Amino acid sequence: MVKEQIENGDHFDFANKDGSYGNRFTFSKGVNALGKKYVLDVHSNQQVYLQKPVIRVLEPQAGKRGRKATLSKPDVQSVSVAEYQKSLRGFILRRGQDKDR
């Protein structure tokens, strides 16, 4: 949708996405690839990374027995948006209300 607007010659400063489009990373990744800024409405319990994670199969620890790891895992811990918000000064997480439910 954003790409179509750009192709039509529309000019805008940023794109906005609310919760009705879901919480998938696809939208922000696509808009970022187009070189546009964006604002997202996210759930307070959504997990985010504060550093870019490296996703890989972890090496076995020395002296550990058992099967080798086969699942990829990030090398840094994620935090919820609510936890991250608590670390910001002067930022208020507004609780939205879905009146249609």
- Residue spans per domain, the chain: 1-41, 43-93
Tens digit of each residue's pLDDT (9 = 90 or more) over 56-100: 998 877 887 888 888 999 999 999 988 998 888 776 666 666 554
CA dihedral over 87, 90, 91, 95, signed as positive or negative: positive
pTM for the model: 0.60
% helix, strand, coil for the chain, step of 5: 25, 20, 60
Tens digit of each residue's pLDDT (9 = 90 or more) over 10-30: 787 878 777 666 667 778 888
